Homo-oligomer: A and B are copies of this chain.
Amino acid sequence: MGNKAKLRAVVEGNAFSALIQFLILASAVAFALESGAPGPELHPHWHYFLILDWVFFVLFAAEYILRLYIAPKKRAFIFSFYGIIDLLAILPSLFLVPGFRVLRTLRFLRVFRIFKATRFILAVDRLTEALSEIKRELLALVILSLMLVYLAACGIYYFEREAQPEAFGSIPDSMWWAVVTLTTIGYGDVYPSTAGGKFFTALVALVGVGLIAIPSGLLASVLTEARVERRKVEEGETERED
């Protein structure tokens, strides 16, 4: 086994995976804490964040180079989903050098480092397979939802525009109410005040509750089918062995 093969075994091993996952988590926590800090001029320990940024930059860059090195086809890796994600995870830190101003705006992109973690979650491929099988239906659902948001906004605008011109003064404004109502979040910052608007809301809410039921029903059906099929295949193999 050559050096490259040994290295590949290490990189694809559990210990390396755990290390990278820990780095992602640490980077996410650092990023979150940095967001609340009062800024480089006022913060007494700001340089700690800077040092951490450098550490994450170096480590993620090393990982990227390593993965590129062990990849059988370099170009394929670079343009693969995870090749791009891994590159995006180091690019924003490249700007650590020039100065604080530029850093501040680009720094924000480091949040996408968290997508590196999906590499380990997507191992649960039963779920992603099921989701990909109902892609078309889910897309139709998203379009239907947008249509419903639009129609709900038009309706409530008709009923409430005169009673509450600040919240329902136009259809785009009313869309905020439509989203908050159809998803049953209901912050309470905007709600109908007229009898007509309340009646219309009841109707919209009924439809909304029904709409929310659809994705779970869809998912249940593909997952059940997949399970029954897998079980059948397993039983078939057992019978052949008999």
A118 contact set on B, CB distance < 8 A: 147
- Is A11 interfacial (CB 8 A cutoff)? no
Are B184 and A184 touching (Cβ within 8 A)? yes
Q: Given known contacts A145-B206, A176-B198, is B229 in contact with A231 (CB within 8 Å)?
A: yes
Interface residues of A in 191-227 (CB under 8 A from B): 191, 198, 201-202, 205-206, 208-210, 212-227
Which residues 166-191 of A have a CB within 8 angstroms of B? 169-173, 175-176, 179-181, 183-189, 191
A44 at the interface (CB under 8 A from B): no
Asked whether any CB of chain B lies closer than 8 Å to the CB of A5, the reply is no
The residue of chain B having its C-beta at the shortest distance from the C-beta of A154 within the complex is: B111
Nearest to A174 among chain B residues (CB) is B35
Nearest 9 pairs of A and B residues by beta carbon? A36-B170, A217-B219, A221-B223, A188-B188, A220-B220, A185-B186, A213-B216, A213-B215, A32-B171
16 A-B interface contacts by CB (under 8 A): A31-B171, A33-B170, A35-B172, A108-B158, A127-B137, A127-B140, A180-B205, A185-B186, A209-B215, A213-B215, A215-B217, A216-B219, A217-B223, A218-B220, A225-B228, A225-B231
